[in-house]
Homo-oligomer: A and B are copies of this chain.
Amino acid sequence: MSTATLSQLNLPLYERIRIDIQARLVEQGWDPDLPIPTEQMLAQEYQVSIGTIRKAIDRLVQEGMLYKAQGRGTFIKQPDFKNSLLRFFRFRNHEGKQAVPTGMVKSIRKVPPTPAINKHLQIDEGMALIELQRLRIVENKVVLSEQIWLPERLFSDLLRFEPLEFGNLLYPFYYQHCGQFISTAKETLSFTSEVEDSDLNARKGDMLIKIERLAYNLENRPVEYRISLGRPENFKYEVKIS
């Protein structure tokens, strides 16, 4: 543990421990399939009672970084995209049943830096990018059209693959080939009538839903910026207020 982190701040003990555990897991790049040290071990290591460790870990669980499995241990959690705004597009197939769209990469290439995107990704103006075009399809019909940008420095290994070699899901692919584990994301919903999109058959003037996503790795650094476009007809989003 880093003594500096644990001493100086005027925070409750469990908060300081929470921060320290978080930093350790991030720096060591903990394997998501391996349990982190047990509560007993951590209690002994930090020389505090087990209740204090539990409170620290409970915070990380609430934050979404860890999850607990009784009898097995505590693990690093992959983000749960069931809350994604994209999940609130409801598509139906020809039988009228609900259908989950399939992701398909259309193209991948290295592109020069773009000021606005480099700023989103918090990287230097001069750093090159990787750009992916991706479609989400239901029964051969394009229902969402996506553009994805990644820092070339971290993701250059992706350039070795052909578009069709990317599976339905990108994030496991990122982790497998570039060691980048997506931990959280921020999404923004807005509207635009100023883009043309041949995949969606949308002309200028047609109102489209635009969902921007900025995805963060375990170190809390933005590593993917994504724009998804779709038609508003089937969109329905719910929130609970309390």
Contacts and interface: CB of A to CB of B under 8 A. Distances in A.
B207 A241 contact: no
| Copies of the polypeptide in the assembly | 2
Interface in A191-242: 191, 207, 232-233, 235-242
A85 B239 contact: yes
A39 interface: no
Interface in A70-95: 79-81, 83-85
Contact of A80 (B64, B83, B242): B242
A170 to B, nearest CB: 14
Interface string A172-201: 000000000001111111110000000000
Contacts of A81: 241
Given A84-B239, A85-B237, 14 more contacts: A64-B242, A65-B242, A79-B241, A79-B242, A84-B241, A184-B240, A185-B242, A186-B240, A186-B241, A187-B238, A189-B237, A190-B237, A191-B233, A191-B235
